[in-house]
Amino acid sequence: MPKEIIIDDNNFKQEVLESDIPVIIDFWAPWCGPCRLMTPIVEDIAEEYDGRVKVGKLNTDENPGVTSEYGIISIPTTIIFKDGKAVDQIIGAVPKDVIVKKLEAVL
């Protein structure tokens, strides 16, 4: 079963910006209730899109560099990256189909 990758300030460039497939990052924190609602959705997407999309989670409390670089002020925030650039962003907890629709648009 595919697993989301833990993304942090140290591996962000390698795992996200230099990825040869689209990457979707779930920006979250342990204390965030709505973030916990997103966990099963993110896990489902990781499984369904295994090999076509890289799925990562980034703890905003532990990774202030990437968090501030992308202006994350509200979590959960989901950003879709393609070819090293942020191409779409979703703020807040949303149903899976909202993410899938945006993801399909970049595939």
Say how many domains are in the chain. 1
Is pTM, for the whole model, over 0.85?
yes
Kindly report, residue by residue over 18-76, the tens digit of the pLDDT.
999 999 999 999 999 999 999 999 999 999 999 999 999 999 999 999 999 999 999 99
CA dist 79 and 103 (Å) reads 10
Q: What is the DSSP letter of 70?
A: T
pLDDT band at 2 (very low <50, low <70, confident <90, very high): low
93 φ, ψ (degrees, to nearest 5) = -80, 125
| Residues with active-site annotation | 32, 35
CA dist 106 and 78 (Å) reads 14
Domain with 66, as residue range(s), is 5-106
